[in-house]
Structure 1
């Protein structure tokens, strides 16, 4: 019998992340059921979620999907105009979401098409409209999955683009790409081959700003969308951080220099110790950076799959999530 003390805490925390590829494959399972929607031109796609992280993940998927054929809105309350010309994509981890359930029943009653990615259990499952297309949930995973949200939104937008798009195949390849990175990010891999451990060590005992390559760089949009989502995900996991647009970085760095300038009038006996937490910057989707106290983190282009920017951004997000799982390094850190 395994004693509780024999469990590796990092491996336990890695469990949900290890299933991100499987989360994407669960989305692929419903693609064939969405065939009646293929090529439709709805008045709008309404991405409806009461969950902050789900909405932020959906923003990434929509922004990197490329030119859209249909207007798309991301909301936490169902618009009053919702009707038979609309497609509603509902996303939540809440097993009990009565307001969302009422909204979906209303939307279905008005003739809207409903696609829902609910949790594996809870009253919501029984409250969904019978006409809703439901994304299967993994029964053993409890935490929020950005991959599931991004794959669901991407699949719906691809289906609506037309019957000639091999959506199920593309979603399956996206899952394979994520699985490749998850192997590299395993707790069994040390810092020499696990990039997430390197990120965790770099930011230890520092304030953290997430940013992207500057405007004009081909990776700017990918990096910016990933960095913004990562900032929210880190903060939700207790690693407080923020996103700064590359154009605003000079002002931020100037303020940081001022804050770190030693006060010649400071008296440690009267004023107490000066405690200014140093700043480090993570530049997502960048191969290199000229910024000081910064790390460039690239989504290796050699393994990119058909989804291109979404694939790259999601792999960056997965790497960032893995960094929150690992313990801070012992000693003085990076």
Structure 2
């Protein structure tokens, strides 16, 4: 029996591009453009009605996939700074009214739950922001009655989380009301620049050694992947990352770092039939005679921001095999970016790593 092998070399840029029939690499690289389009909408005053508003609550109602993960990350990032309760709910609550802001976001303009949520919020007199494609049933209920932030550029629904996160953060910043509209638009512009810079570093023409996304994909290959967060923000990011990697065919679990540490003995216990054994040769493995293939070893990937890097590194010592994943390498001491920018950069890197895993067959 022949052991599974990567279908492509990660340093074969021409082969990767030729194999990318779904346009995965281009779709991920559109992240910065999606955020910049949202920044343009903010600069045009699309949500200026919210400026300086003092709502009773801000309710995020996300669709499935990227919108839901974007809402969870936004809650972790700015939930304590909005000045009113920030909630993530499945639909417009029965108590919503003119004192509330409802943000409905998703990729599917025909999702009945999202359509009903917009209709209910409008009828109750709430301020409503809609970040859903302007088509189908959604157009019928939202037209002329809401603040519309539809996508201005197409990207695969697998790669829209950063756009939704940008929308949620833009709404929070508008309500907070610090600075001018131009200032708030510029913040998103800087995030878009950081994501674009990451996309350049992660491009197919850059070799593994100089490519964070390819390096991440290489480290995940042939492993049971455990993604960890060192706080609420990075744990939400780890949960998003596990779904992104699942889309590439790679099974990955996500948890808070302390939970992984508690399970370290079971996770990293040596396997008596380890594939690293000198007696294991996958080429001659016969499941009828030799039984099931040995369990791949586990490797943890710990997400951290600059403010939590030191603590995360210390806590990682309890894990037998773990990599620290941060936005900037230790040798990039001259690079200073905000926590928000770091989160966007890491999300973009994971999406690109997932694309490389899928293209090379590394999840098989």
Q: Which runs of 5+ in 2 are unaligned?
A: 1-14, 275-286
Indicate whether 1:63 and 2:76 are aligned: yes
CA RMSD of aligned residues (A): 2.9
- In the TM superposition, 1:215-294 aligns within 5 A as 220-258=231-269, 260-261=271-272, 272-273=291-292, 275-285=294-304, 286=309, 289-290=316-317, 291-294=319-322
Indicate whether 1:187 and 2:240 are aligned: no
How far did 1:135 drift?
1.1
How far did 1:101 drift?
1.5
Question: In structure 2, which of residues 128, 137, 146 is the aligned counterpart of residue 132 of structure 1?
Answer: 146
Question: In structure 2, which of residues 97, 110, 119 is the aligned counterpart of residue 83 of structure 1?
Answer: 97
User: Separation in 1 of the partners of 2:120 and 2:232?
Assistant: 36
Tell me which residue corresponds to 1:317. Answer: 347
SS in 1 for 2:209: coil
Indicate whether 1:116 and 2:136 are aligned: no
SS in 2 for 1:21: helix
- Shift of the 311–259 alpha-carbon distance from structure 1 to 2, 3 Å rule, reads same
How far did 1:328 drift?
6.9
Relative CO higher for 1 or 2, CA cutoff 8 Å, sep ≥ 6? 2
Tell me which residue corresponds to 2:218. Answer: 201
User: Separation in 2 of the partners of 1:235 and 1:7?
Assistant: 21
Instruction: Give deviations 1:264-292, integer Å, cap 9, x for gaps.
Output: xxxx9887245212111111124755343
Q: Which runs of 5+ in 1 are unaligned?
A: 214-219
CA contact (8 A) 1:95 1:122 kept: yes
Paired residue total: 317
Indicate whether 1:48 and 2:61 are aligned: yes
CA contact (8 A) 1:16 1:143 kept: no
How far did 1:332 drift?
10
How far did 1:53 drift?
3.4
Which has the higher mean CA deviation after the structures are superposed, 145-154 or 254-263?
254-263
Which has the higher mean CA deviation after the structures are superposed, 238-247 or 8-17?
8-17
- Shift of the 316–39 alpha-carbon distance from structure 1 to 2, 3 Å rule, reads same
Which has the higher mean CA deviation after the structures are superposed, 24-33 or 321-330?
321-330
Indicate whether 1:299 and 2:309 are aligned: no
Tell me which residue corresponds to 1:35. Answer: 48
User: Separation in 1 of the partners of 2:134 and 2:122?
Assistant: 22
Indicate whether 1:96 and 2:115 are aligned: no
- Shift of the 326–103 alpha-carbon distance from structure 1 to 2, 3 Å rule, reads same
How far did 1:37 drift?
1.4
CA contact (8 A) 2:226 2:252 kept: yes
Which has the higher mean CA deviation after the structures are superposed, 239-248 or 135-144?
135-144
Task: Give TM-score scaled by structure 1 length.
Answer: 0.85
Instruction: Give deviations 1:54-85, integer Å, cap 9, x for gaps.
Output: 12221111211252301011112221111111
SS in 2 for 1:48: strand
